[in-house]
Amino acid sequence: MSKKIKLVVIGNGPVGHNFLEYLVDSGKADHYQVTVFGEEPLPAYDRVHLTAWFKTQSVDDINMVHDNFYGKNNFTLHIGNKATKIDRENKVVHSESGLEVSYDKIILATGSFPFVPPVPGHERDNIFVYRTIEDLEKITEAAKTAKVGTVIGGGLLGLEAAKAVMDLGLKTHVVEFAPRLMAVQIDGGGGAMLSKKIQDLGVSVHTNKNTQNIGDGNEAVHKMSFADGSELETDIIVFSAGIRPRDELGHSSDLQMGERGGIVINNNTLTSDKDIYAIGEVALWNNKIFGLIAPGNAMAHAAVDHLTGTGTSEFAGADMSTKLKLMGVDVASIGDAHGNTPNSRSYTYVNDREEVYKKIVVSEDDKYLLGAVLIGDAAEYGSLLQFMLNKIELPAEPEGLILPSIDGSSSGIGVDALPDSAQLCSCLNVTKGDIIEAVEAGATDMAAIKSCTKAATGCGGCAALVTQVLNCELEKLGVEVNTDLCEHFAYTRQDLYNIIRIEKIKSFAELLDKHGTGLGCDICKPTAANILASCWNDHVLESNLQGLQDTNDFYMGNMQKDGTYSVVPRIAGGEITPEKLIVLGEVAKEYGLYTKITGGQRIDLFGARVEQLPPIWRKLVDAGFETGHAYGKSLRTVKSCVGSTWCRYGVQDSMGLAITLENRYKGLRSPHKIKFGVSGCTRECAEAQSKDFGIIATENGWNLYVCGNGGMKPRHADLFASDLDDKLLIQYIDRICMFYVRTADRLQRTSVWMDNMEGGLEYLKSVIIDDKLGLAAELEQEMLNVVDTYQCEWKTTIDDPEKMKRFTHFINSDKADNNVIFTTEREQIRPAFAGEKSLAIEVK
Amino acid sequence: MTNQKQWQDICKTGEILPNIGVCALFEGQQVAIFKIADSSGTEQLFAINNYCPFSESNTISRGLVGSLAGKIVVASPLYKQHFDLSTGICLEDSTVSLDIYPVRIEGDTVQLAA
Ligand code: SRM
Ligand SMILES: Cc1cc2nc3c(=O)[nH]c(=O)nc-3n(C[C@H](O)[C@H](O)[C@H](O)COP(=O)(O)OP(=O)(O)OC[C@H]3O[C@@H](n4cnc5c(N)ncnc54)[C@H](O)[C@@H]3O)c2cc1C
Ligand code: SF4
Ligand code: FES
């Protein structure tokens, strides 16, 4: 191959990084010798989700660099090293540390910096901006000794900063120069509704305030004085008054600049120098700076296409529509939100009770959508955006698009009407055509769509729409996703659940008789048993239920490879007395069982033959043990750390909570197993974020994380709610558990359930926290029923001679299975390998 | 004498519950016996070798029974292969089959023959 082209990328923010990802995708990366300069001490992280840093104060959740991306592709990355000069004559880039790197081509992706207006006093201590992880670290540190925090600027980022300040426990103020919040994106009515909702949350909003001086305060660190003569005292100040391009390298190297800054680019993102491209927030296109990630990514694409010649995309401006959640309030702005188009018409819907404001702006003839504002409920965002972007003709009475439908059906767009070129996911630039392609290649659920197209993995705003397209395409392709449980039931698990619950069905025979065919099988029988247990919680060995149980549930132990079973008593939270520990040791010794500490903080005794199970459990139950349900699709373990009781860092009693939770939910039969973790502080020694339910102590209570998974496809749990007290925590978990039981597929862990849930986390929150479906009380009642009817399955069994009859290997002999043969390894038993026991097999 | 089966008593009919297998020790071999009942209450007995060749363990009697495409089957409890109870043939791999045994009810007693 000919000599490599020397490419220097300046700036390692999201756009600079995505440029490199696209370069790799183009297949031409190995034609370039790539050097990257990043001023920040960390490699690229996802600034859009900067606020998520507060969750764990770790960069892990927002880190954009995975799988040794730079090393693997032989890209040289200099972080914490700012590029200080571009010598265009000699084609060399100089850096702060003194490096000199010669180049053939440069990509400038230096982004922007927060603008701090030159108000007297702005250089005082305890005044911050909100742009980098270092900024957040400083704010967090300062908040420790502060009581009041003020954000200057009531735009999108200002409100996000205000939320962070509030979450740090400070009394929070937002000061805005304009007469309303988010003046750029939303109209007066929307701004008023937004102010109201935000004030409801305890944040004070001050509009029409022009800050003239910041000086010493009396009660607090600073005193802010405004043009109207009023004053505000505050301990910390965060400026969020707009951004300015980081264009100093363009200046010093004489590239063509905009009048008010920004490096001028053309549709190929080339600057006035044909060897230098500029992308992201530093670039000025058509006299505009684009302060969002999607246009930056589109520029990065265009740059790769032009540089490598592998594509033809050009940057042609970008739609600045946005949808976000600010302090839990849905806010969306589309197109011409202010109705500036001459002769446009608008329709507005205001609901003061629900605090919802919706407006659409349409063309003079009512045919096309020009813009919209949605506050408090942005469910229509996806379809409205498509109406506008694709110039789809509106229905006869366009106001119907934002009026609540009385029957609960959604008006909105038929996704079928969208052209293939319709961009569904703007963050990752995924079109309807891309989704169709993925479906044709075999994707049948959202999880697959996400992993092969990346759609809905950015802000998530497009998830509902993408799901609709997915379903519609599946239907069309006749890939009839057969959701029937099995040949005996033409129903999904969810259908069966509803049937059983509503018709109060108590046995499989009745279910089969009314709704199924044939004799049933090893799929529908355990599923029915599981649902019957979730609903009515009768003992697994009741005469009409026992024949449905998989062998693990039937013998209340996990069958091992040789037909023996494991014995796992519950050790709630992993806490065990020495006395009980001794009992376990004695039992294991007496029956010659293999003993191991499990990955779930308890002890597993392996190698028990069926006929040994009852005497083993008799001893365990007498010593106070209960079944651990290691065999059931049910609550497994609640992993815990010692927490504040012993640990010097613990802020809550994680051990106590873990035991309470384990005892509450033990015995709940669910679509798949459920695991919990409870950590006593943010160090997270219980690894709670890898569990279905993860609970992490905070100074003020508990943060609840949901739908994590270890296992085959690990998934970090999502933060569901913060600073809950015990009561609310349990209430939410009750509801989520029962909602999962109600709506998940067979053998679907909560992680996959979440990945496939239309509307995702926000939807789950609306059902659980806002009680959108009016189900909360019912779900709680159902859980209460399960809790109240708990019994230790083993205890009930060994007390019932009828049930005990099953625990023999032979119906007509007391002999043991002669094919169960152990040998010894590391002083304990293990099943003999085939060769080691060939003799035994002959007597089969 | 060659066609004459040698029936051997195994257990009382009541000891075998509908749709739940048991294992009998029969002439040194392990035999799984199932009493399949359908919704009309009709009962049918099946006897099949208890040894699962896939897991190499004596576990067939602990499998779940049911029907698949009209055949009455048992699913091996470890790796879930299905065996046709009438022929012993494995549905997933017809080269594998289990021995089946004549089984009957004589009075209130279940009997097996070789
Ligand atoms: C015993 C144990 C391994 C050990 O020696 O430590 C174990 C053993 C088994 N695991 Fe596990 N898992 C054990 C902890 C885990 C953990 C760790 C944890 O819980 O913190 C995980 C990952 C966390 C998670 O679940 O998200 C784990 C992920 C799995 C999976 C993958 C689940 C997934 O969603 O991807 C399976 C397969 C399945 O359930 O479909 C599985 C299945 C199994 C089964 C039941 C397989 C089987 O059907 O025979 C194993 C038999 C258990 C037995 O005989 O008692 N086991 N398994 C651990 C028992 C914990 C306990 O006290 O109950
Ligand atoms: C709190 C917050 C929330 C946001 N939310 C959203 C949102 O919801 N949706 C959305 O679309 N956008 C959002 N944004 C905006 C989005 O983050 C930006 O559009 C995006 O980060 C721009 O990427 P960039 O790579 O162009 O610039 P930047 O992210 O600014 O990255 C530029 C990088 O280059 C470095 N650099 C600068 N000069 C040099 C030099 N001379 N040498 C070496 N390195 C240099 C900088 O230190 C920086 O790391 C948000 C921004 C913030 C701060
Ligand atoms: S999570 Fe925190 S409280 Fe618990 S053991 Fe670890 S450091 Fe201690
Ligand atoms: S639009 Fe943001 S993730 Fe798709």
- Name the residue facing A844 among B24, B30, B39 (closest C-beta): B30
CATH number at residue A753: 3.30.413.10
Q: Is the CB of A426 under 6 A from ligand 4?
A: yes
Taking CB atoms and an 8 Å limit, are B11 and A834 in contact across chains? no
pLDDT in the model for residue A474: 85
User: Is position A433 within any domain?
Assistant: no
In order of their start, the domains of chain B are 7-113 (2.102.10.10)
Q: Please give the structure tokens belonging to residue A538.
A: 């009768």
Task: Return the SS3 of B60.
Answer: helix
What is the count of residue pairs from A and B with beta carbons less than 8 Å apart?
A: 101
Among A186, A218, A241, identify where a domain stops: A241
In this structure, are residues B38 and A519 in contact, taking their beta carbons and an 8 Å threshold? yes
pLDDT in tens, chain B (114 residues): 445 678 999 999 999 999 999 999 999 999 999 999 887 888 999 999 999 999 999 999 999 999 998 899 999 999 889 999 999 999 988 889 999 999 999 999 999 998
Neighbours of B57 (CB within 10 A): 24
User: Is position A377 within any domain?
Assistant: no
Which DSSP string corresponds to A193-243? HHHHHHHHTT-EEE-S--EEEEEE-SSSSEEEEETTS-EEEESEEEE-S-E
Taking CB atoms and an 8 Å limit, are A810 and B67 in contact across chains? no
- Name the residue facing A563 among B25, B29, B58 (closest C-beta): B58
User: Is position A322 within any domain?
Assistant: no
User: Is position A692 within any domain?
Assistant: yes
Task: Return the SS3 of A26.
Answer: coil
d(CA B54, CA A386): 55
Q: Which residues contact A391 (CB under 8 A, 6 or more apart)?
A: A368
Chain A: residue nearest B98 by CA? A844
Taking CB atoms and an 8 Å limit, are A817 and B30 in contact across chains? yes
pLDDT in the model for residue A61: 83
Which DSSP string corresponds to A707-755? S-B-SSS-BPPEEEEEEE-HHHHHHHHHHHHHHHHHHPPTT--HHHHHH
Residues A109 and A251 in one domain: yes
- Give start and end residues of each alpha helix (H) in B1-114: none
CATH number at residue A254: 3.50.50.60
A124-159 burial, b at 16+ Cβ within 10 Å, e below that, comes to eebbbbbbbbebbeebeebbeebebbbbbbbbbbbb
In whole angstroms, what separates CA A822 from the centre of its chain? Answer: 46
| ipTM tops 0.85 | no
Residues A718 and A702 in one domain: yes
Residues A152 and A228 in one domain: yes
Question: Minimal CA–CA distance to A138: which of A168, A158, A102, A160?
Answer: A168
With beta carbons under 8 A apart, name residues in chain B contacting A540. none
Structural domain boundaries, residue A544: 493-549
A504-539 burial, b at 16+ Cβ within 10 Å, e below that, comes to ebbbbbebbeebbebbbbbbbbbbbbbbbbbbbbbb
In this structure, are residues A192 and A180 in contact, taking their beta carbons and an 8 Å threshold? yes
The residue behind tokens 């002083």 is A827
Q: Is the CB of A599 under 6 A from ligand 1?
A: yes
In this structure, are residues A285 and A316 in contact, taking their beta carbons and an 8 Å threshold? no
Residues with CB under 6 A from ligand 2: A 10-16, 37-40, 47-48, 50-51, 82-83, 109-112, 130-131, 157, 160, 246, 249, 280-281, 291-294, 296, 324, 459
Among A529, A549, A569, identify where a domain stops: A549
User: Is position A359 within any domain?
Assistant: no
Residues A303 and A258 in one domain: yes
- Name the residue facing A512 among B30, B39, B78 (closest C-beta): B39
Residues A97 and A139 in one domain: no
Question: Minimal CA–CA distance to A602: which of A615, A620, A614, A622?
Answer: A620
Neighbours of A576 (CB within 10 A): 17
d(CA A175, CA A694): 37
Task: Return the SS3 of A254.
Answer: coil
Residues A270 and A217 in one domain: no
Q: Within 13 A of A209's CA, how many CA atoms are on the CB side? A: 24
Residues A742 and A683 in one domain: yes
d(CA A325, CA A49): 12
Neighbours of A210 (CB within 10 A): 13
Chain B: residue nearest A555 by CA? B62
In this structure, are residues B109 and B30 in contact, taking their beta carbons and an 8 Å threshold? no
Residues A135 and A266 in one domain: no
Q: Is the CB of A715 under 6 A from ligand 1?
A: no
SS (HEC) of A94-149 = EECCCCEEECCEEEECCCEEECCCCCCCCCCCCEEECCCHHHHHHHHHHHCCCCEE
Alpha-carbon distance B113 to nearest alpha carbon in chain A (angstroms): 15
**Number of structural domains found in chain A:** 4
In this structure, are residues A242 and A115 in contact, taking their beta carbons and an 8 Å threshold? yes
User: Is position A741 within any domain?
Assistant: yes
d(CA A676, CA A422): 41
Neighbours of A48 (CB within 10 A): 16
d(CA A508, CA A707): 30
Task: Return the SS3 of A88.
Answer: coil
A817 in contact with chain B, both atoms CB, cutoff 8 A: yes
Residues A641 and A758 in one domain: yes
Neighbours of A770 (CB within 10 A): 10
pLDDT in the model for residue B64: 96
The closest-lying atom of ligand 4 relative to the alpha carbon of residue A466 is 4
Q: Please give the structure tokens belonging to residue A85.
A: 């000069």
Which DSSP string corresponds to A764-814? HHHHHTS-TTS-HHHHHHHHHHHHHT---HHHHHHT-HHHHTT--S-SS--
Task: Return the SS3 of A844.
Answer: coil
Please report, as a single letter, which amino acid is at residue A420: D
pLDDT less than 70: residues of chain A: 1-2, 405-414, 459-460, 479-482, 838-844
Question: Minimal CA–CA distance to A40: which of A133, A128, A157?
Answer: A133
**φ, ψ for residue A323 (rounded to 5)?**
-135, 130
User: Is position A726 within any domain?
Assistant: yes
Residues A236 and A256 in one domain: no
User: Is position A341 within any domain?
Assistant: no
For A7-46, the pLDDT digits (tens) are 999 999 999 999 999 999 999 999 999 999 999 999 999 9
Choice from A184, A246, A322, A326 to test ligand 2 binding pocket (greatest atom count within 8 A of CB): A246
Angle in degrees, CA A329, A720, A698, rounded to 5: 110
In this structure, are residues A821 and A808 in contact, taking their beta carbons and an 8 Å threshold? no
Alpha-carbon distance A810 to nearest alpha carbon in chain B (angstroms): 5
pLDDT in the model for residue A407: 42
pLDDT in the model for residue A208: 93
Taking CB atoms and an 8 Å limit, are A487 and B75 in contact across chains? no
| Helix then strand then coil, % of chain B, to nearest 5 | 5, 50, 45
Among A216, A241, A266, identify where a domain stops: A241
With beta carbons under 8 A apart, name residues in chain A contacting B23. 809-811
Question: Minimal CA–CA distance to A332: which of A226, A465, A422, A453?
Answer: A465
pLDDT in the model for residue A405: 60
Give the torsion sign (CA, A36, A38, A43, A47).
negative
d(CA A256, CA A273): 8
d(CA B17, CA B36): 9
Interface test with chain A among B9, B12, B64, B109, by most A beta carbons within 10 Å:
B64
Burial class (CB in 10 A: 0-12, 13-18, 19+), A365: exposed
SS (HEC) of A387-425 = HHHCCCCCCCCHHHHCCCCCCCCCCCCCHHHCCCCCEEE
d(CA A838, CA B8): 29
Question: Minimal CA–CA distance to B33: which of B97, B44, B8?
Answer: B44
Choice from A46, A429, A459 to test ligand 4 binding pocket (greatest atom count within 8 A of CB): A459
Residues A207 and A251 in one domain: no
With beta carbons under 8 A apart, name residues in chain B contacting A543. 17
Give the torsion sign (CA, A468, A469, A473, A479).
negative
- Name the residue facing A519 among B17, B23, B67 (closest C-beta): B67
Strand partners, A321: none
d(CA A319, CA A426): 9
Question: Minimal CA–CA distance to A126: which of A49, A214, A225?
Answer: A214
Strand partners, A149: A172, A236
End-to-end CA distance of chain B: 14
The residue behind tokens 């509307």 is A759
pTM (2 d.p.): 0.57
Residues A51 and A167 in one domain: no
Q: Is the CB of A636 under 6 A from ligand 1?
A: yes
Please give the distance, rounded to the nearest whole angstrom, from the Cα atom of residue A431 to the centre of ligand 4: 11
d(CA A567, CA A628): 8
A839 in contact with chain B, both atoms CB, cutoff 8 A: no
Taking CB atoms and an 8 Å limit, are A811 and B66 in contact across chains? no
